[in-house]
Chain A
Amino acid sequence: MTYWTTMIVGRLAQTAMVAWTIVTMCFVFVHVLPGDTALRIAEARGGAEFLNVGRAEEIASEEGLNRPILLQYGEWIRRLATGDLGVSLVSGQSVTSELWYRGQNTLVLGIVGWLASHLVALPIGICAALRPRGWVDKLSSFYCVTMASLPSFLMGIGLISIFALSLRWLPPAGFRSPEHLILPAATLALGLSAFSIRLIRDTVREVNGAFFITFARTKGLTASMALWQNGWRNAAIPIVAFAALQFAAVVDGFIMIETLFNFPGLGDLLVSSMLARDVPMVMGAGLVAAVGYGLVNLAADLTSLALDPRISQRDQRRATFR
């Protein structure tokens, strides 16, 4: 097997282990929460107004909630092995189709927010690095501290107040058209860019002071030419690794942003399913989040390898010496 194949297989196995752990934890947490699961599901199905112990007992019997916990867990794992995530205990809809619908929304929001954050962070971070302590550096530093310390729900409320309620340029909530994506994506992007700008600035500055850049300058290249031709690939490696790490933060952010903007995504689904004790849906959402996180990190590793083949050579040398 080549180094790449070994690495991909290893990471996929690791992702599978992480996913299994997360799903098992979801199952355990839902069952150790205080309160009767069948009653919660009855409440989620029909609302508090129509809550009824008789109905809860019917649900427990229909859905097999009275069976031993380990049997329920084993049944879910067995179904998962055949690719079947089951049906929601609340809506009766297929978990897979619900996750697909919600996952699409979250993925689009995440991609647009992440791209927008890097559209902001890359030029500002590079400019700040090229002129340390210049006005761009100072302003960007102020921007980063402000944005990083501002909770995303406050940022979202601020954007809604300005662009939806005062200027009336954009809708404040919902999911009917591409315009409905702008404010939630901007909320996500502003938060993410605060961290990316500083990382890009520090990385580019470090690369800019490296020996190979000085050497390129002595050959007669301008500072920007030297950076463009010799520096970007070196600078990109930590930035890519950090972007993958940001994915975890994005999952947290989605929960708040999707609630604030009434956006039907995975974060919103996870919270409502947890409250309703919708076990198959919670486990399905946990599975998707864990696999997504694993795949994003795998993509980051592959990108780093593509950018810097020395990583594979170094790893192979280490393996040989061991």
Chain B
Amino acid sequence: MTDLSRRTVLLGSGTLAALLTAPRWLEAQENAPSSIRAIQPWEFKSIQPAESGFVLNRASIAEGLTALEPDGRVVPCLSQSWTVSDDAREWRFVLRDGVVFHDGTPVTAEAVKASMDALLPQARRLSAVPIASIAAEGNEVIFQLARPFGPLPAYLCDFAISVYAPAAFTADGKIASLISTGPFKVDSVDLPRRLTLLRHDAYWGERPSVERAEFEAVANGETRTNMALAGDADVIMNIPTPSVARIESSGMMQVHEVINPRVHALYPDCGKPQFSDARTRRALSLAIDRTAIARTIMRNAELAATQLFPPVMPDWHFDDLPRYDYNVAAAEALLDKAGWIKGADGIRSKDGVRFAGTIHTFPNRPEMPVIATALQAMFKTVGYDLAISVGEASAIVEAKQNGTLDIGFSSRHLAIVPDGIAVISSEFVVEDSRNQSDTGAMNWRNAEFDRLTDAYFAETNEEIRAASRHRLTEILQEDLPVIPIVWYSQIFAVSDGLDGFVNDPFEQRLYLERLRFKA
């Protein structure tokens, strides 16, 4: 080999390697002015609806028979209306005319039924619905239920049960390609970071004004802030609270904030001697200065929880419920009355049991370990010795399973099914067959609560239902099987050049189809 050929080989190999390995996105991209770039914090782990979270609905790809409006109303979506039999066991959903899937095939009752049949086994929340059979008849999809079930339309908003075309499924009922009916169809999927979308020109509703959209996952909050400061996207979700002032002063994007149906709450093990008496749970609640936590850690005093459900769920939020007070003296008095006596180290004990335990939380929401530290200091003032363990969220479930969990500190979306009864039944009715949660209240039973929950599902009289809702939330407020700390707000950064942004407090949709660039 000569010197020249060696060099040629070396240089040639390098160039060839570079050319062969150039990823697709490096090819020059046309930055069409009619393309919207939206950023969210959650990665797209899978294209299976049950595991993809809200993303396929948020990106305006998938739709269900019903949908949730930003004001909390459940409205028809692929169905144009529904009727229910007197015994609330037969539900008929009449399909809209002229709706087509992204592949151009018509949305028929048979296609909807086939989609439901394939997706229902994975849709865990839907297992609460006593579906006996689903039938297609003309342009109607008919649900026959084994027993009356009033909140069915709300359960059908679940992202796991959106409607997909027959061509979207493999033979074993898995989704192979995302062919649904939404205003945008999928152009390409780069799991777990990017979805590229094209306008669905044959969409049945308001036609999107932009032709293309990109949906990108950026997990790091500081990176999302940088993108907002650089104006590198059109809509950015979950802006960290400490970054809001910087983004507002940069003038690149507008900030929109709305309180979500989400709560950060303590889940004490009510079976343990420290928490089996409701007075100790009330005492700990009285020792929490929620306003200080909301103001200093969440940077929004309005996020201090006054009850489990925030005002954005008006059917389940009651202004006449007694608020959670901050009153250390009352807390101490309650603990004294319950027989927990302070020792020389300032920590209480009763019958040889120390008033102490560990709180398990996780750092996915960065404020949670900080709040846990604040709680540690607050609880110490009333004589509870709190240790903190920060790990994966699954560690809470694991500790609960093996009986080592004292207090779990979790964040919970209360409106994945936009009717609070779904959370009530899955989180608090511990031995209910509808309970699909392993993260709810621990070892807490209340016979009246269980009875009211059961009756609620079957009840169609709205007056009786409203009274039940009030009583259910009242019991939670009195008995505190879960101790709410703060609610949560969704903060968006939106480009100044965009019109039509809708701030959906339920986080279910971004309404990309309503966005348009200002002239």
CA distance A46 to B45 in the complex (A): 8
A107 at the interface (CB under 8 A from B): yes
Once the chains bind, are A92 and B25 in contact (CB under 8 Å)? Answer: no
Q: B residues 42-68 with Cβ under 8 Å of A? A: 42-43, 45-46, 48, 50-51, 53
A 66-93 to B, binary, CB cutoff 8 A, 1 in contact else 0:
0000000000000000000000001111
A220 at the interface (CB under 8 A from B): no
Q: Tally A-B pairs: CB < 8 A.
A: 144
B317 to chain A minimum Cβ distance, whole angstroms, is: 21
Once the chains bind, are B45 and A44 in contact (CB under 8 Å)? Answer: yes
User: A165 and B23 in contact (CB under 8 A), knowing A40-B394, A51-B397?
Assistant: no
Once the chains bind, are B17 and A111 in contact (CB under 8 Å)? Answer: yes
Once the chains bind, are A51 and B223 in contact (CB under 8 Å)? Answer: no
B306 to chain A minimum Cβ distance, whole angstroms, is: 23
Once the chains bind, are B28 and A177 in contact (CB under 8 Å)? Answer: yes
Q: A residues 101-142 with Cβ under 8 Å of B? A: 101, 103-105, 107-108, 111
Q: B residues 210-265 with Cβ under 8 Å of A? A: 214, 216, 218-220, 223, 226-227, 229-232
The interface stretch among B112-120, B280-288, B338-346, B435-443 is: B435-443
Q: A residues 1-58 with Cβ under 8 Å of B? A: 35-36, 39-40, 42-56
The interface stretch among B135-143, B189-197, B446-454, B473-481 is: B189-197
B-side contacts of A178, CB under 8 Å: 26, 28
B147 at the interface (CB under 8 A from A): no
B341 to chain A minimum Cβ distance, whole angstroms, is: 36
| A172 to chain B: closest residue by CB | B226
CA distance A48 to B411 in the complex (A): 9
Once the chains bind, are B438 and A93 in contact (CB under 8 Å)? Answer: no
B-side contacts of A46, CB under 8 Å: 50-51, 53
Once the chains bind, are B1 and A260 in contact (CB under 8 Å)? Answer: no
B354 at the interface (CB under 8 A from A): no
B 54-93 to A, binary, CB cutoff 8 A, 1 in contact else 0:
0000000000000000000000000000000000000000
Q: B residues 360-418 with Cβ under 8 Å of A? A: 362, 364, 391-395, 397-398, 401, 410-413, 416
Once the chains bind, are A260 and B223 in contact (CB under 8 Å)? Answer: yes
A 303-316 to B, binary, CB cutoff 8 A, 1 in contact else 0:
10010000000000
Cross-chain contact of B393 among A43, A177, A259, A264 (Cβ < 8 A): A43
Cross-chain contact of B392 among A35, A105, A171 (Cβ < 8 A): A35
B518 at the interface (CB under 8 A from A): no
A-side contacts of B439, CB under 8 Å: 51
Once the chains bind, are A45 and B29 in contact (CB under 8 Å)? Answer: no
B471 at the interface (CB under 8 A from A): no
Cross-chain contact of A303 among B10, B216, B229 (Cβ < 8 A): B10
B-side contacts of A160, CB under 8 Å: 226
CA distance A165 to B191 in the complex (A): 28
B103 to chain A minimum Cβ distance, whole angstroms, is: 22
CA distance A168 to B398 in the complex (A): 47
A175 at the interface (CB under 8 A from B): yes
Cross-chain contact of A111 among B18, B191, B391 (Cβ < 8 A): B18
A-side contacts of B410, CB under 8 Å: 48
Once the chains bind, are A173 and B392 in contact (CB under 8 Å)? Answer: no
User: A259 and B220 in contact (CB under 8 A), knowing A53-B397, A108-B22?
Assistant: yes
A307 to chain B minimum Cβ distance, whole angstroms, is: 8
Q: A residues 203-261 with Cβ under 8 Å of B? A: 259-261
A-side contacts of B28, CB under 8 Å: 177-178
B470 at the interface (CB under 8 A from A): no
User: A47 and B53 in contact (CB under 8 A), knowing A35-B395, A172-B223?
Assistant: yes
Cross-chain contact of A91 among B10, B29, B46, B220 (Cβ < 8 A): B46
B-side contacts of A50, CB under 8 Å: 53, 124
Once the chains bind, are A39 and B25 in contact (CB under 8 Å)? Answer: no
Once the chains bind, are A175 and B232 in contact (CB under 8 Å)? Answer: no
A-side contacts of B231, CB under 8 Å: 168
B-side contacts of A108, CB under 8 Å: 18, 21-23, 26
A-side contacts of B124, CB under 8 Å: 50, 52, 54-55
CA distance A275 to B363 in the complex (A): 13
CA distance A207 to B23 in the complex (A): 40
Once the chains bind, are B226 and A48 in contact (CB under 8 Å)? Answer: no
B323 at the interface (CB under 8 A from A): no
Cross-chain contact of B398 among A39, A47, A107, A259 (Cβ < 8 A): A39
A99 at the interface (CB under 8 A from B): no
Once the chains bind, are A47 and B42 in contact (CB under 8 Å)? Answer: yes
Once the chains bind, are B436 and A52 in contact (CB under 8 Å)? Answer: yes
A1 to chain B minimum Cβ distance, whole angstroms, is: 18
Once the chains bind, are B394 and A39 in contact (CB under 8 Å)? Answer: yes
Once the chains bind, are A107 and B21 in contact (CB under 8 Å)? Answer: yes
A164 to chain B minimum Cβ distance, whole angstroms, is: 5
CA distance A47 to B6 in the complex (A): 53
B-side contacts of A172, CB under 8 Å: 223, 226-227, 229-230, 232
Q: Total interface residues on A, using CB and 8 Å?
A: 53
B 23-49 to A, binary, CB cutoff 8 A, 1 in contact else 0:
101101100000000000011011010
A181 at the interface (CB under 8 A from B): yes
- Chain B contact-residue range equals 35 or more
B-side contacts of A306, CB under 8 Å: 1, 6, 10
Cross-chain contact of B223 among A44, A177, A262 (Cβ < 8 A): A262
CA distance A173 to B226 in the complex (A): 8
CA distance A298 to B2 in the complex (A): 20
Once the chains bind, are A45 and B45 in contact (CB under 8 Å)? Answer: yes
B-side contacts of A45, CB under 8 Å: 45-46, 51
B-side contacts of A181, CB under 8 Å: 26
A-side contacts of B23, CB under 8 Å: 101, 104-105, 108, 175
B118 to chain A minimum Cβ distance, whole angstroms, is: 16
| A104 to chain B: closest residue by CB | B23
CA distance A108 to B394 in the complex (A): 36
A-side contacts of B190, CB under 8 Å: 101, 264
CA distance A83 to B274 in the complex (A): 56
Cross-chain contact of A51 among B48, B194, B394 (Cβ < 8 A): B394
B-side contacts of A52, CB under 8 Å: 124, 397, 436-438
B 191-211 to A, binary, CB cutoff 8 A, 1 in contact else 0:
111100000000000000000
Once the chains bind, are B230 and A171 in contact (CB under 8 Å)? Answer: yes
B-side contacts of A36, CB under 8 Å: 394, 398
A176 at the interface (CB under 8 A from B): yes
| A309 to chain B: closest residue by CB | B1
A-side contacts of B230, CB under 8 Å: 164-165, 168, 171-172
A-side contacts of B51, CB under 8 Å: 45-46
CA distance A97 to B289 in the complex (A): 51
User: A48 and B223 in contact (CB under 8 A), knowing A35-B394, A93-B191, A108-B18?
Assistant: no
| A169 to chain B: closest residue by CB | B230
User: A104 and B192 in contact (CB under 8 A), knowing A53-B401, A174-B216?
Assistant: no
B346 to chain A minimum Cβ distance, whole angstroms, is: 32
CA distance A111 to B16 in the complex (A): 12
A89 to chain B minimum Cβ distance, whole angstroms, is: 11
Cross-chain contact of B362 among A42, A48, A91, A259 (Cβ < 8 A): A48
Given contacts A43-B393, A48-B393, A54-B436, 13 further A-B contacts (CB under 8 A): A39-B398, A44-B45, A47-B42, A48-B362, A48-B411, A51-B438, A52-B438, A55-B124, A107-B17, A164-B232, A174-B218, A264-B192, A306-B10
Closest 5 CB pairs of A and B: A48-B393, A39-B394, A172-B226, A104-B23, A43-B394
Name 14 A/B residue pairs within 8 A (Cβ), A-sorted.
A39-B397, A40-B392, A45-B51, A50-B124, A53-B397, A101-B190, A107-B17, A108-B23, A168-B231, A172-B227, A174-B232, A177-B26, A262-B216, A264-B192
